[in-house]
Structure 1
Amino acid sequence: MADCRKKIVHLCLASFFIDNYSYQENILPRYHKIMGYDVTIIASLVSFDKNGRYILLPHEDQYCTIDGCKVLRVNYNSFFYKFNKLLRRYNSLYSLLMNERPDIIFIHGVQFLDITKVLRYKRHFPLVKLYCDNHADWINSATNFISKNILHKIVWKYCAKKLEPHVECFYGVTPLRCEFLSKMYKLPADRIRLLPMGVDDLAIPWGDRDEINLSIRSSLSISVDDFLIVTGGKIDEKKNIHMLIKAVKKLSYENIHLIIFGTIATSFKKDMEQLLHLPNVYFVGWKNSEQVMKYLLSADLAIFPGTHSVLWEQAVGLGLPSVFKYWNGMTHVDGGGNCSFLKSDNVDEIADVIEQIYLFPKAFQQMKNSALAFSANFHYSNIAKKSIENV
């Protein structure tokens, strides 16, 4: 256990913080609390509504999470509000840090201009240890001229370079996001490490797995002996879930089923709704993190045929054999046998991969064994220790 006098402040000011979810911003503080630290989260007002869509909370607030971590919600600085919202400058960040007096600050994303307030606190308390992770890459960010050439190459690079001399380590949560830190912000490679996202392993109901499997399958009239594929997340065209549905339809095996959970982007609803009524396809809508874990545990195989989401690491952490779309810099989920990769956006390729897994049970058993053996690398009980291992 950690020295209980030590305090960690997690700064979730570069993006969102959603209460009771299983994002890294939720789980790392939980495990640091379990490790014995006093934990406070200073977060923006950006959150999700009950349907999993982005919202801005109406006001600042203070409360505790179900894990006992203090949360301080802060608004953007009201002077030139729109400008400060874009550059992420907040009300009274320095005062909040001075009130909390952290020994460790874990910065979730360097992309906020108030990084200068963090450095002011570091100057006042030079023994404080700073860590910073990165969730941005060329797929989910820097996708237009302003974002890439102004925000990232100038503003956020400035923040990263200001932080560089004072931070213990920069973490990329995927290899691609490590590369983004190096190439976009010109940070030295020896200051960057991989800190993968994962699964809340203390919350995995291993002992109830058979009951969960039976319950979910029974609710959809799926036999326990049938082959169940699960996918989901924030569903848009880039996730290629429409191609996965078409692949299952193409195969036409009566005992191959596909469950899809999540929210469908408004612009993509019409295209998806035409596919969701096909035989052996079950759209169950938005689910909370506990329910998502249960759906994954009920499956034989997870397939994510498009852009990356944290569900990749959660599936791997659960020891679930998986199929992912190949992206350069996203192969950290490959433990050597636990998963397969799709090389293209192609219905025929997805169908072929499913069929090869389904028709060769001995090879699939080896895949399952590899998945279980590799899973602990994506358990937050291990990741949380690694994140501050030199404290």
Structure 2
Amino acid sequence: MKIIHIVLSGPFTEGMTYQENLLPIQNALDGHNVLIVASCLGWDKGKIIRMTECDKIIQFGIRLIRIDYDNIINSYVSEKVRKSHKLMPIIQKFAPDIIFLHDSQVFEIINIAKYKNNHSSIKFIVDFHSDYYNSARSLLSYIFLHRFLYNALLRNAEKSIDRMYCISRSAKTFLQEVYNYRSNNIEIFPLGGFSKKHTQYERCAIRNALGYSSSDIILLHSGKINKNKKTKELLEVFNRKDYSNIKMIIIGDISMDYMNVIMPLIEQNDRVKYLGWKSGEELLEYLSISDVYIQPGSASATLQNAICAGNAVIVSQTDIYEDIVKNNGWIISDVSEIDHILEEIERSPNMLVKMKRESIYIGETVLDYKILANRMYNV
């Protein structure tokens, strides 16, 4: 099949482990002809940067086309409206069997819906990521963007959508309450994950290269390191006690305004390694040798990859985790709870064996992109 992924609602960065990266890879691995049409925005060291338009082949033979937004008043408004007259000619020329629109909040959803109406055999899939936790945080955003602009766009296209995928129950609630979406085509389609399979020998070799033994318990914390990730609070808890065989790896770019806060906490504890930014492929490598993925602050898409890699998890209390953190870790309401959890792990390290096994099961049955991709093929 010919599958087009449209990523105009925000940045797209090659080599990351976000849904818009990994789902197209799985489509390509399944033998399909895959095209990504993305905006000219991308991530670089935790900041959004502007890139140039391009048309090129990236990993796994996937074609990537970047297109600019049409200019509407100024760049700020253009990046909120997300209109591009260049999209539809690309779709028409590619003639896809499946259109997967990553997030509904783009002006072009109207034109895609018209195309679907004229080509009834294709499947038009939209996924929805917004919830009360990550969106509509200001009155202006809530009223003008979500209740008015994005709501009007989605209502115009609603009858043409074959499947509306919400990444969590909280996203479904937001869609139904804020957008008044009433179609019965909603399904929960969680962010998924990949995992790198290593033999015990390979895992030991990677650990040894980092200075860890097979008996060390490795915590991994990652993401765009800013105050929302609660990295400072995590390190303060971890540094209070000398957990003899519990070590921590931190991966990600630290925001400049947070650097002077975080680095002294890292440097005072030789059980903490800061590895800086790593590519998606490298991050999967480290997840393959860690034991516990720990994210006490804002949500991270890496969690799903961590579960697929067989990590137990310690995460903050948010609705998005309810269906994937079950008997495979801890959901906490406050960072201070981590102290007790680490003491528990130190006393009974074998408790992680069952949790890690449960993560592998959840990964294989719920989060694996092979399973998620098959769902979209059968819409």
- Using the size of structure 2 for normalisation, the TM-score is 0.93
Unaligned runs of 5+ in 2: none
Distance 1:272 1:189 in 2: 47
CA deviation after TM superposition for structure 1 residue 146, in Å: 1.8
> Could you tell me which residue of structure 1 aligns to residue 327 of structure 2?
337
Task: Deviation per CA, 1:251-275: give whole Å up to 9, x if none.
Answer: 2223221110001122322221221
* Match of residue 354, structure 2, among 366, 375, 379: 366
2:344 counterpart of 1:356:
yes
* Match of residue 114, structure 1, among 108, 114, 117: 108
Which stretch of structure 1 is more off in the superposition, 33-42 or 287-296?
A: 33-42
Distance 2:272 2:183 in 1: 45
Whether contact under 8 Å (2:193, 2:363) holds in the other structure is no
* Match of residue 70, structure 1, among 63, 66, 70: 63
* Match of residue 190, structure 1, among 184, 203, 222: 184
CA deviation after TM superposition for structure 1 residue 227, in Å: 1.8
Q: Structure 1 segments of 4 or more deviating over 4 A?
A: none
* Match of residue 255, structure 2, among 262, 265, 279: 265
Whether contact under 8 Å (1:217, 1:223) holds in the other structure is yes
Secondary structure, aligned partner of 1:27: helix
CA deviation after TM superposition for structure 1 residue 52, in Å: 4.7
Distance 1:79 1:235 in 2: 33
Distance 2:94 2:299 in 1: 35
> Could you tell me which residue of structure 2 aligns to residue 3 of structure 1?
none
CA deviation after TM superposition for structure 1 residue 369, in Å: 2.5
Task: Deviation per CA, 1:12-34: give whole Å up to 9, x if none.
Answer: 11112111222111111122223
Label 1:198 to 1:161 Cα distance change in 2 as closer, same or farther (>3 A): same
Would you say how many aligned residue pairs link Structure 1 and Structure 2?
Answer: 376
Whether contact under 8 Å (2:204, 2:213) holds in the other structure is no
* Match of residue 46, structure 1, among 41, 45, 52: 41
Secondary structure, aligned partner of 1:319: coil
* Match of residue 10, structure 1, among 5, 8, 16: 5
> Could you tell me which residue of structure 2 aligns to residue 205 of structure 1?
197
> Could you tell me which residue of structure 2 aligns to residue 318 of structure 1?
309
Task: Deviation per CA, 1:84-132: give whole Å up to 9, x if none.
Answer: 2331111322222211111211100011112122122123323321000
Distance 2:141 2:203 in 1: 43
Which stretch of structure 1 is more off in the superposition, 162-171 or 140-149?
A: 140-149
Whether contact under 8 Å (2:175, 2:181) holds in the other structure is yes
* Match of residue 131, structure 1, among 125, 139, 156: 125
Distance 2:250 2:204 in 1: 15
Q: How does 1:147-158 map to 2 (within 5 A)?
A: 147-158=141-152
Q: In percent, how many aligned pairs have the same letter?
A: 25
Distance 2:183 2:72 in 1: 38
CA deviation after TM superposition for structure 1 residue 79, in Å: 5.7
Whether contact under 8 Å (1:61, 1:73) holds in the other structure is yes
> Could you tell me which residue of structure 1 aligns to residue 153 of structure 2?
159
Whether contact under 8 Å (1:176, 1:330) holds in the other structure is no
* Match of residue 232, structure 1, among 184, 203, 222: 222
Distance 2:359 2:43 in 1: 32
Label 1:146 to 1:267 Cα distance change in 2 as closer, same or farther (>3 A): farther
Label 1:312 to 1:357 Cα distance change in 2 as closer, same or farther (>3 A): same
Label 1:137 to 1:79 Cα distance change in 2 as closer, same or farther (>3 A): closer
* Match of residue 23, structure 2, among 14, 24, 28: 28
Which stretch of structure 1 is more off in the superposition, 87-96 or 308-317?
A: 87-96
> Could you tell me which residue of structure 2 aligns to residue 61 of structure 1?
54
Task: Deviation per CA, 1:137-192: give whole Å up to 9, x if none.
Answer: 22222111222221111111112222211111111112222222222211127321
Secondary structure, aligned partner of 1:332: coil
Whether contact under 8 Å (1:316, 1:371) holds in the other structure is yes
Whether contact under 8 Å (1:226, 1:256) holds in the other structure is yes
2:79 counterpart of 1:85:
yes
Which stretch of structure 1 is more off in the superposition, 26-35 or 310-319?
A: 26-35
Label 1:261 to 1:217 Cα distance change in 2 as closer, same or farther (>3 A): farther
Secondary structure, aligned partner of 1:67: helix
Whether contact under 8 Å (2:345, 2:352) holds in the other structure is yes
Distance 1:80 1:92 in 2: 18
RMSD in angstroms over aligned alpha carbons? 1.9
> Could you tell me which residue of structure 2 aligns to residue 382 of structure 1?
371
Distance 2:158 2:341 in 1: 44
* Match of residue 276, structure 2, among 285, 297, 305: 285
Distance 1:343 1:164 in 2: 37
Unaligned runs of 5+ in 1: 1-5
Secondary structure, aligned partner of 1:206: coil
Whether contact under 8 Å (1:195, 1:387) holds in the other structure is no
Distance 2:244 2:184 in 1: 52
Q: Which amino acid aligns with 1:124?
A: N
- Using the size of structure 1 for normalisation, the TM-score is 0.91
> Could you tell me which residue of structure 2 aligns to residue 249 of structure 1?
239
Whether contact under 8 Å (2:103, 2:126) holds in the other structure is yes
Secondary structure, aligned partner of 1:267: helix
Whether contact under 8 Å (1:248, 1:256) holds in the other structure is no
Distance 2:142 2:257 in 1: 24
Task: Deviation per CA, 1:262-317: give whole Å up to 9, x if none.
Answer: 01122322221221112111111001111111211211211111111101111111
Label 1:69 to 1:267 Cα distance change in 2 as closer, same or farther (>3 A): same
